[in-house]
C-alpha cells in the first residue's frame, strides 16, 4: 500500500512542537513529557502547520536539500512513525 501524500498532518491536541534552548534542539511537548527530535525530524516537524500536505512538505525540503536520495520516502516514514506514536493526525 502506498502512502497518500495528499494527506495534511497536524499535531494532535495537547502536542506542541518548539525549540527548547535547554535541550539545544527541537522537542515535542505533550502532557506526559517531552520527546527530543533529531535534526531531520525537526526540519519535518517545523513544516507541520495543518495547511501543508505531505507532498508540499516533501517539495519544500527537496528545494532546501536538492538531490537527497529517498527524501520523500524518509518523510513518509517519519509521518508513519509519528502517526503510530500518536504525535500527529493525517487528514
Q: Is the residue at 17 inside a domain?
A: yes
pLDDT digits (tens, 9 = 90+) for 29-45: 999 999 999 999 999 99
* Residue 1 included in any domain: no
CA dihedral over 62, 64, 67, 68, signed as positive or negative:
negative
pLDDT for the residue numbered 2: 75
Please give the residue range of the domain that contains residue 45. 10-86
* DSSP letter assigned to residue 15: -
Number of domains in the chain: 1
pLDDT tens, the chain, 91 aa long? 578 999 999 999 999 999 999 999 999 999 999 999 999 999 999 999 999 999 999 999 999 999 999 999 999 999 999 999 999 999 9
Q: pLDDT value at position 1?
A: 55
Rg of the chain (C-alpha set): 13
Check residue 14 and give its pLDDT. Answer: 96
Q: Kindly state whether residue 54 falls inside one of the protein's structural domains.
A: yes
Indicate whether 41 belongs to any domain.
yes
Q: What is the pTM of this model?
A: 0.93
CATH number for the domain harbouring residue 20: 1.10.10.1150
Residue 67 lies in a domain: yes
Amino acid at each position: 500500500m502506498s502512502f497518500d501524500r495528499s494527506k495534511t498532518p497536524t499535531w494532535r491536541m495537547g502536542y506542541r512542537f518548539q525549540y527548547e534552548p535547554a535541550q539545544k534542539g527541537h522537542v515535542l511537548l505533550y502532557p506526559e513529557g517531552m520527546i527530543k527530535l533529531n535534526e531531520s525530524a525537526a526540519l519535518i516537524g517545523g513544516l507541520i502547520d495543518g495547511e501543508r500536505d505531505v507532498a508540499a512538505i516533501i517539495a519544500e525540503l527537496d528545494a532546501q536539500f536538492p538531490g537527497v536520495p529517498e527524501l520523500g520516502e524518509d518523510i513518509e516514514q517519519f509521518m508513519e512513525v509519528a502517526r503510530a506514536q500518536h504525535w500527529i493526525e493525517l487528514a
